[in-house]
Amino acid sequence: MGWPLPDGGRTLLVAGGVGAPPIVAAAGLLAAHDLPFDAIIGARSKDRLWGEQQLRDLGAHHTLVTTDDGSYGLGGLTTDAMAQCLAARPYDLVMACGPTRMMAGVASLAEKAHVRCLVSLEQLMACGFGACGCCNVPLRNGGYASCCMDGPVFDGSEVAW
């Protein structure tokens, strides 16, 4: 499953580190369909940041940048910026890609705000067709899903973080 188009309303895109390229791709999809979105992009430091200008160029209404070391934008985590965004305006959907710990925090914040959250997971995928089980994603309701076959995009509320 790739990034599905939302039904409408505003989407909040959240990218951390190497999760920036998939989020920029999602922004391009939203922009191509004239769907409004805001973006949060984070990195360890300014020299590791990529995608801010691309998100602005694609039409992000609000773009927040965070760096772990405070060298650019807001010092702190993408989840800190996300809490600010959720408090400032309503969203119908959150899309996130980045480190697992970040996405767990994003999914938790979205759930508390009653906003649907889609996460693009990065797992080691040895075989690519679900036979080896190394890319299994634990699910809240028990069992596992195969990231390579069932994902890599999952509903954040379904993942057992």
Beta carbons within 10 angstroms of residue 98's beta carbon: 25
Q: Checking phi first, is residue 96 left (phi over 0); if not, alpha (psi -120 to 50) or beta?
A: beta
Average pLDDT over residues 121-140: 92
11-120 is a CATH 3.40.50.80 domain: yes
Average pLDDT, the chain: 95
Q: How far apart are CA 12 and CA 95, in angstroms?
A: 6
Query: What predicted TM-score, i.e. pTM, was given to this entire model?
Result: 0.94
CA 102 and chain centroid, separation? 9
pLDDT over 90 for what percent of the chain?
90
Q: Where are the domains of the chain?
A: 11-120
Q: How far apart are CA 151 and CA 103, in angstroms?
A: 15
For 45-54, how does the pLDDT look when each residue is reduced to its tens digit (9 = 90+)?
999 999 999 9
Smallest CA-to-CA distance from 85 within 139, 12, 17 is with 12
Regarding predicted confidence, which is higher, 142 or 128? 142
pLDDT reading at 2 higher than 90? no
Angstrom distances, CA of residue 46 to CA of 6, 51, 73, 106: 31, 11, 8, 22
